Amino acid sequence: QSALTQPASVSGSPRQSITISCTGTSSDVGSYNFVSWYQQHPVKAPKLLIYDVSKRPSGVSNRFSGSKSGNTASLTISGLQAEDEADYYCCSYAGTNTVVFGGGTKLAVL
Amino acid sequence: EVQLVESGGGLVQPGGSLRLSCAASGFTFSRYWMHWVRQAPGKGLVWVSRIDSDGSYTNYADSVKGRFTISRDNAKNTLYLQMNSLRVEDTAVYYCARDLTPTLGATDYWGQGTLVTVSS
Protein backbone atom coordinates (compact mmCIF):
# COMPACT_ATOMS: atom_id res chain seq x y z
CA GLN A 1 0.00 0.00 0.00
CA SER A 2 2.65 2.53 -1.02
CA ALA A 3 1.40 5.98 -1.97
CA LEU A 4 1.13 6.86 -5.64
CA THR A 5 3.81 9.29 -6.82
CA GLN A 6 2.86 12.84 -7.76
CA PRO A 7 5.04 15.92 -8.28
CA ALA A 8 5.11 18.04 -5.15
CA SER A 9 4.22 21.20 -7.05
CA VAL A 10 3.32 22.54 -10.46
CA SER A 11 2.59 26.04 -11.65
CA GLY A 12 1.04 27.81 -14.57
CA SER A 13 -0.26 31.15 -15.71
CA PRO A 14 -3.92 32.05 -16.19
CA ARG A 15 -5.42 30.60 -19.40
CA GLN A 16 -2.56 28.10 -19.74
CA SER A 17 -2.89 24.32 -19.40
CA ILE A 18 -1.05 22.13 -16.92
CA THR A 19 -0.80 18.39 -16.39
CA ILE A 20 -0.26 16.56 -13.12
CA SER A 21 1.09 13.03 -13.29
CA CYS A 22 0.35 10.17 -10.92
CA THR A 23 2.56 7.10 -11.08
CA GLY A 24 1.61 3.83 -9.48
CA THR A 25 2.40 0.20 -10.11
CA SER A 26 0.98 -2.78 -11.94
CA SER A 27 -0.92 -3.58 -8.72
CA ASP A 28 -2.97 -0.40 -8.72
CA VAL A 29 -3.02 2.20 -11.51
CA GLY A 30 -1.75 -0.26 -14.09
CA SER A 31 -4.32 -2.94 -13.28
CA TYR A 32 -7.54 -1.00 -12.95
CA ASN A 33 -9.35 1.80 -14.73
CA PHE A 34 -10.46 3.11 -11.34
CA VAL A 35 -8.36 6.23 -10.98
CA SER A 36 -9.92 9.31 -9.44
CA TRP A 37 -8.74 12.86 -8.82
CA TYR A 38 -9.61 15.28 -6.02
CA GLN A 39 -9.16 18.99 -5.50
CA GLN A 40 -8.64 20.34 -2.00
CA HIS A 41 -8.58 24.00 -1.07
CA PRO A 42 -7.03 24.98 2.28
CA VAL A 43 -9.03 23.85 5.29
CA LYS A 44 -11.68 22.34 3.06
CA ALA A 45 -12.79 18.80 2.37
CA PRO A 46 -11.60 17.21 -0.88
CA LYS A 47 -13.84 17.50 -3.94
CA LEU A 48 -14.12 14.78 -6.58
CA LEU A 49 -13.05 15.99 -10.03
CA ILE A 50 -12.54 12.81 -12.07
CA TYR A 51 -13.40 9.14 -11.58
CA ASP A 52 -12.88 5.99 -13.64
CA VAL A 53 -9.79 7.65 -15.19
CA SER A 54 -11.64 10.21 -17.30
CA LYS A 55 -15.26 10.64 -16.19
CA ARG A 56 -16.45 13.92 -14.68
CA PRO A 57 -19.16 14.09 -12.02
CA SER A 58 -22.07 16.37 -12.74
CA GLY A 59 -21.15 19.99 -12.06
CA VAL A 60 -17.40 19.64 -12.59
CA SER A 61 -16.00 21.94 -15.26
CA ASN A 62 -14.93 20.37 -18.56
CA ARG A 63 -11.62 22.21 -18.09
CA PHE A 64 -10.65 19.18 -16.00
CA SER A 65 -9.79 15.99 -17.85
CA GLY A 66 -8.11 12.71 -17.00
CA SER A 67 -6.23 10.00 -18.83
CA LYS A 68 -4.06 6.96 -18.18
CA SER A 69 -1.22 5.14 -19.85
CA GLY A 70 0.26 2.07 -18.26
CA ASN A 71 1.06 2.73 -14.61
CA THR A 72 0.70 6.51 -14.92
CA ALA A 73 -2.47 8.57 -14.78
CA SER A 74 -2.69 12.26 -15.57
CA LEU A 75 -4.95 15.19 -14.75
CA THR A 76 -5.01 18.09 -17.18
CA ILE A 77 -6.45 21.46 -16.30
CA SER A 78 -6.99 23.75 -19.26
CA GLY A 79 -7.68 27.47 -19.21
CA LEU A 80 -6.17 27.88 -15.73
CA GLN A 81 -8.05 30.18 -13.40
CA ALA A 82 -7.05 31.70 -10.09
CA GLU A 83 -9.55 29.53 -8.22
CA ASP A 84 -7.80 26.40 -9.50
CA GLU A 85 -4.97 27.10 -7.06
CA ALA A 86 -5.28 24.17 -4.66
CA ASP A 87 -3.87 20.76 -3.79
CA TYR A 88 -4.67 17.87 -6.12
CA TYR A 89 -4.67 14.19 -5.21
CA CYS A 90 -4.91 11.13 -7.38
CA CYS A 91 -6.38 7.92 -6.05
CA SER A 92 -6.51 4.38 -7.36
CA TYR A 93 -8.31 1.19 -6.51
CA ALA A 94 -5.62 -1.24 -5.39
CA GLY A 95 -7.48 -4.54 -5.29
CA THR A 96 -9.20 -6.43 -2.44
CA ASN A 97 -11.35 -3.36 -1.77
CA THR A 98 -8.42 -1.18 -0.76
CA VAL A 99 -7.59 2.28 -2.04
CA VAL A 100 -4.35 4.23 -2.33
CA PHE A 101 -3.87 7.98 -2.69
CA GLY A 102 -1.04 9.96 -4.19
CA GLY A 103 1.07 12.27 -2.07
CA GLY A 104 -0.60 15.37 -3.50
CA THR A 105 0.44 18.17 -5.82
CA LYS A 106 0.25 21.86 -4.96
CA LEU A 107 -0.85 23.93 -7.96
CA ALA A 108 0.17 27.56 -8.08
CA VAL A 109 -1.50 29.89 -10.56
CA LEU A 110 1.03 32.64 -11.13
CA GLU B 1 -28.74 17.50 0.04
CA VAL B 2 -26.12 14.93 0.98
CA GLN B 3 -24.49 15.71 4.31
CA LEU B 4 -21.82 13.89 6.28
CA VAL B 5 -20.95 15.23 9.73
CA GLU B 6 -18.07 13.74 11.69
CA SER B 7 -17.69 13.99 15.45
CA GLY B 8 -15.78 12.41 18.30
CA GLY B 9 -12.31 13.77 17.67
CA GLY B 10 -10.14 15.21 20.39
CA LEU B 11 -6.93 14.88 22.36
CA VAL B 12 -5.95 11.40 23.53
CA GLN B 13 -2.78 9.95 25.01
CA PRO B 14 -0.70 7.36 23.16
CA GLY B 15 -2.17 3.92 23.74
CA GLY B 16 -5.63 5.37 24.28
CA SER B 17 -8.88 4.86 22.41
CA LEU B 18 -11.39 7.04 20.63
CA ARG B 19 -14.57 6.41 18.64
CA LEU B 20 -15.43 8.63 15.72
CA SER B 21 -18.94 8.98 14.34
CA CYS B 22 -20.20 10.17 10.98
CA ALA B 23 -23.87 11.14 10.75
CA ALA B 24 -25.26 10.84 7.24
CA SER B 25 -28.32 12.52 5.78
CA GLY B 26 -29.84 13.41 2.42
CA PHE B 27 -29.42 9.95 0.87
CA THR B 28 -30.28 6.32 1.53
CA PHE B 29 -27.33 5.51 3.77
CA SER B 30 -27.96 1.76 3.79
CA ARG B 31 -27.32 1.50 0.04
CA TYR B 32 -23.79 2.89 0.05
CA TRP B 33 -20.34 1.64 0.96
CA MET B 34 -18.53 4.15 3.16
CA HIS B 35 -14.89 5.09 3.76
CA TRP B 36 -12.67 6.76 6.33
CA VAL B 37 -9.75 8.81 5.03
CA ARG B 38 -7.27 10.74 7.16
CA GLN B 39 -4.93 13.66 6.66
CA ALA B 40 -2.09 14.44 9.04
CA PRO B 41 -1.39 18.15 9.57
CA GLY B 42 0.21 19.57 6.42
CA LYS B 43 0.30 16.16 4.76
CA GLY B 44 -1.63 14.27 2.09
CA LEU B 45 -4.73 12.12 2.10
CA VAL B 46 -4.41 8.53 3.31
CA TRP B 47 -7.11 5.92 2.95
CA VAL B 48 -7.93 4.20 6.25
CA SER B 49 -10.86 1.84 5.87
CA ARG B 50 -14.09 0.98 4.04
CA ILE B 51 -17.24 -0.93 4.83
CA ASP B 52 -19.88 -2.33 2.54
CA SER B 53 -23.51 -1.29 2.63
CA ASP B 54 -24.75 -3.70 5.32
CA GLY B 55 -21.56 -3.93 7.34
CA SER B 56 -20.69 -7.47 6.30
CA TYR B 57 -17.33 -6.71 4.73
CA THR B 58 -14.60 -4.38 5.91
CA ASN B 59 -11.09 -3.53 4.72
CA TYR B 60 -8.24 -1.62 6.32
CA ALA B 61 -4.96 0.02 5.47
CA ASP B 62 -2.02 -1.97 6.82
CA SER B 63 -1.10 0.91 9.13
CA VAL B 64 -4.32 0.56 11.15
CA LYS B 65 -5.17 -3.12 10.73
CA GLY B 66 -5.78 -4.77 14.10
CA ARG B 67 -6.14 -1.43 15.89
CA PHE B 68 -9.06 0.28 14.13
CA THR B 69 -12.56 -1.09 13.53
CA ILE B 70 -15.05 0.37 11.09
CA SER B 71 -18.74 -0.27 11.64
CA ARG B 72 -22.14 1.21 10.83
CA ASP B 73 -25.67 1.43 12.16
CA ASN B 74 -27.99 1.76 9.19
CA ALA B 75 -30.99 2.36 11.46
CA LYS B 76 -29.22 5.45 12.79
CA ASN B 77 -27.61 6.47 9.46
CA THR B 78 -24.27 6.55 11.22
CA LEU B 79 -20.76 5.33 10.39
CA TYR B 80 -18.20 4.66 13.12
CA LEU B 81 -14.47 4.25 13.50
CA GLN B 82 -13.27 2.69 16.74
CA MET B 83 -9.60 3.53 17.20
CA ASN B 84 -7.58 1.61 19.79
CA SER B 85 -3.89 1.57 20.71
CA LEU B 86 -3.53 5.03 19.25
CA ARG B 87 -0.08 6.26 18.24
CA VAL B 88 1.33 9.74 17.76
CA GLU B 89 1.38 9.07 14.02
CA ASP B 90 -2.40 8.61 14.01
CA THR B 91 -2.76 12.36 14.60
CA ALA B 92 -4.84 13.64 11.69
CA VAL B 93 -8.11 15.04 10.49
CA TYR B 94 -10.38 12.08 9.86
CA TYR B 95 -12.92 12.34 7.04
CA CYS B 96 -15.81 10.05 6.29
CA ALA B 97 -16.71 9.76 2.62
CA ARG B 98 -19.43 8.13 0.56
CA ASP B 99 -18.41 5.55 -2.02
CA LEU B 100 -19.25 6.38 -5.64
CA THR B 101 -21.06 3.16 -6.36
CA PRO B 102 -20.75 1.24 -8.68
CA THR B 103 -17.21 2.31 -9.45
CA LEU B 104 -14.38 1.17 -7.19
CA GLY B 105 -12.30 3.44 -4.98
CA ALA B 106 -13.83 6.82 -5.74
CA THR B 107 -15.80 8.85 -3.20
CA ASP B 108 -18.25 11.55 -4.15
CA TYR B 109 -19.19 13.26 -0.88
CA TRP B 110 -16.98 14.06 2.09
CA GLY B 111 -17.61 15.42 5.54
CA GLN B 112 -15.67 18.36 6.94
CA GLY B 113 -13.54 16.13 9.13
CA THR B 114 -12.80 15.75 12.82
CA LEU B 115 -9.36 16.27 14.31
CA VAL B 116 -7.72 13.54 16.35
CA THR B 117 -4.60 14.51 18.26
CA VAL B 118 -2.53 11.78 19.91
CA SER B 119 -0.09 13.29 22.34
CA SER B 120 1.15 12.94 25.89
pLDDT digits (tens, 9 = 90+) for A63-75: 999 999 999 999 9
Indicate the SS3 state at residue B21. Answer: strand
Chain B partners within 8 Å of A46 (Cβ): 37, 45, 95, 110
Express as a percent the part of chain B with pLDDT over 70: 100
Cβ contact, residue pair B103, A46, below 8 Å: no
Cβ contact, residue pair B106, A32, below 8 Å: no
Q: Tens digits of per-residue pLDDT, A30-44?
A: 999 999 999 999 989
Rounded Cα gap, residues A75 and A19, in angstroms: 5
Question: pLDDT-derived band of residue A97, with 50, 70 and 90 as boundaries?
Answer: confident
Average pLDDT, chain A: 96
**Contacts for B42 with CB less than 8 Å, ≥ 6 apart:** none
Distances (CA, A) of A2 to A30, A66, B63, B72, B98: 14, 22, 11, 28, 23
How many contacts, defined by CB atoms under 8 Å, are there between A and B?
A: 73
Average pLDDT, chain B: 96
Write down the pLDDT at residue A49. Answer: 98
CB-based burial of residue B117 (10 Å sphere; 0-12 exposed, 13-18 middle, 19+ buried)?
A: middle
Chain A partners within 8 Å of B48 (Cβ): none
Rounded Cα gap, residues A83 and A22, in angstroms: 22
Rounded Cα gap, residues A11 and A108, in angstroms: 5
